Structure 1
Amino acid sequence: MFFPRNTIFIDHSTISLSQVEKLNKLLNKNKIKFLDAPVTGGEEGAKTGNYQ
């Protein structure tokens, strides 16, 4: 694993629950904390500051 132990990995992507679970399992096995925090709004949301 390329992250040091006790890293907090924050995922802002929009992926399926099964992918989130796989990623969480892999990271936790390597002592890396995982936070799933997707955002919505796309490019227009970024331009206007309307992320949710």
Structure 2
Amino acid sequence: MANLSEAKWFKSSRSGAHSNCVEVALLPNTLVGVRDSKNRSGPALVFTYH
């Protein structure tokens, strides 16, 4: 399980001031986290990338 407590979340600059977005965090070990920007304390999905 990935530790998301210190993740640096960001969203696309094209999303503007809207809150209907996903946020992404680059994590160690080629992982990336994805979460709903409206529910930041809710669940997040974690994927691998290369």
Structure that is richer in helix per residue: 1
Structure that is richer in strand per residue: 2
Bigger relative contact order (CA 8 A; separation at least 6): 1
Instruction: Give the TM-score, by structure 2 length.
Output: 0.28
